[in-house]
Amino acid sequence: MPRRSQTDLAVLGALSTGPMTGYEVRRLIAGTLGHFWSESFGQIYPTLTRLERGGLVRRSGTGRTSGSALEITTAGTARLRELLAEPHVTTPPRNGLLLRLFFGSHLSSDEVESLLHQARDRAREALAGYETVRDDIAGDDSHEQAYRTMTLSFGEHAARAQLAWAEESLAALPAIREGSSRARG
Amino acid sequence: MPRRSQTDLAVLGALSTGPMTGYEVRRLIAGTLGHFWSESFGQIYPTLTRLERGGLVRRSGTGRTSGSALEITTAGTARLRELLAEPHVTTPPRNGLLLRLFFGSHLSSDEVESLLHQARDRAREALAGYETVRDDIAGDDSHEQAYRTMTLSFGEHAARAQLAWAEESLAALPAIREGSSRARG
DNA sequence: AGCAGCATGTAAGTGGTTACATGATTGT
DNA sequence: ACAATCATGTAACCACTTACATGCTGCT
């Protein structure tokens, strides 16, 4: 199983929603897709020129201010569908917060509490962000709306779960604190 | 902000639970930590030799069968605490399933259904796995138990959230199906 | 005798991050 | 004028994955 980049998929997908400049592709991926996908900016322009050379994308007039807008071609749409049908890979998780929590016995209980506060606050921020996204989507009644709602809903479920977990864990902390101080003497 | 590897942290943390061979470190990271952390095996042995050269880890007798067990040193424990106190980084998400779902309008509704089934089944499998982990932890009454339970609980919350989301989304599919067929003709 | 699992590594390749570099345009 | 944003790239570095290579031990 060769290590295949899914950057093409993300970029073609972005362009499938309409012509835009490379800068706008960047922003779309960092913004809307940001909750479940990320591309480093250093990848996007090289990918766009490669796709253009391959005839999957073409220049079409100028963008809003300067630069040229990019448009997906028929071949590009076909390629997008191919890529969508391929088995998906999700990068293995690397959650630095949970890694630290797992070895929490080496931390002071204040440090543990701080980690949990961070997790809780991050979940709250995510939820607040999703609310505005939901408002954006509401004004959109294309056939793409349903799928945006679906992915948004995933984010909301995940954030609510993290929030609930963080609050439960914070509530459990005093008992752990007692336990470890009893163990130490 | 230099791109810093957290492999040292994961490996030192693993060894902080007791002496073990490199092979066992591998297994611990792939198993117990696997739900929120991953290391590629090609990294572990080089890391161990580097840590040994740095005096953070030392050989101590032989493992269960062959090979030599590795033990964390006092300096290693100190380093571990340093690393734990550093700000954590969590790799940006790259969820191939959600990426595809987001562009679901280019997929047939059968393909979308299949993606959701995969998400649902994966969540169920995770939950089943967590159940056995919970049993393992129950027999362990060290002061580390509380933190294992905490990270396990995170996994359970996340898996339950994903399961609920997948089931809701599957239930919503018929309406989407209707909508898109109405739009097409 | 043979297989599964234990055990330890290496080497090539690549995907991706980060930082740097440059200039146009719009708003104040 | 000046700042912020739009816009397009490049180059170096590195972390990581994958595949390969090798031998031992315990069981049947």
pLDDT for the residue A10: 96
Nucleotide in closest CA–C1' contact with A3: D17
pLDDT for the residue A35: 93
Chain B within 8 Å of A150 (Cβ-Cβ)? Answer: yes
- Tell me the per-residue pLDDT of B22-78, one tens digit each, with 9 for 90 and over: 999 999 999 999 999 999 889 999 999 999 999 999 998 765 566 689 999 999 999
- Tell me the per-residue pLDDT of A9-44, one tens digit each, with 9 for 90 and over: 999 999 999 999 999 999 999 999 999 999 988 999
> Percent of chain A at pLDDT above 70?
92
The total of other beta-carbon atoms located within 10 Å of residue B47's CB is 20
Q: How far is CA A66 from CA A57, A62, B47, B164, in A?
A: 18, 6, 49, 45
CA angle A9, A13, A19 (to 5 degrees): 135
Q: Mean pLDDT for chain B?
A: 90
**Mean of pLDDT values over A131-145:** 83
Q: Under 8 Å CB-to-CB from B98, ≥6 apart: which residues?
A: A36, A37, A151, A154
pLDDT for the residue A43: 93
The total of other beta-carbon atoms located within 10 Å of residue B73's CB is 17
Cα torsion for A23, B88, A164, A28, to the nearest 10°? 0
pLDDT for the residue A138: 82
- Residue A68: pLDDT band (50, 70, 90) is confident
Q: Provide the positions of strand D that have an atom within 7 A of a protein CB.
A: 6-12, 14-19, 23-26
When mean pLDDT is compared over A65-69, A179-183, B144-148, B174-178, the highest value belongs to: B144-148
More confident residue, A74 or B40: A74
- Residue A125: pLDDT band (50, 70, 90) is very high
Within 7 Å: CB of B21 and strand C?
Answer: yes
| Token reading at A140 | 């959109």
Query: Distance between CA atoms of A34 and A155, rounded to whole angstroms?
Result: 11
Residue A46 CA and nucleotide C5 C1' are separated, in Å, by: 45
Chain A within 8 Å of B38 (Cβ-Cβ)? Answer: yes
- Tell me the per-residue pLDDT of B142-164, one tens digit each, with 9 for 90 and over: 788 999 999 999 999 999 999 99
Chain A within 8 Å of B88 (Cβ-Cβ)? Answer: yes
Q: Mean pLDDT for chain A?
A: 90
Give which of A8, A107, A151, A176 to mutate to test B binding, by max B Cβ within 10 Å.
A151
Residue A2 has pLDDT above 90, yes or no: no
**Minimal Cβ distance to A164: which of B80, B88, B157:** B157
Q: What is the DSSP string of chain B?
A: ------HHHHHHHHHTT--B-HHHHHHHHHTTGGGT----HHHHHHHHHHHHHTTSEEEEEE-SSSSEEEEE-HHHHHHHHHHHHSPP-BPPP-BHHHHHHHTGGGS-HHHHHHHHHHHHHHHHHHHHHHHHHHHHHHT--STTHHHHHHHHHHHHHHHHHHHHHHHHHHHHHHHHHHHHHHHH-
Which pTM value belongs to this model?
Answer: 0.92
| Token reading at A86 | 């391929």
Compute the residue count for chain A: 185
Query: Distance between CA atoms of B33 and A102, rounded to whole angstroms?
Result: 8
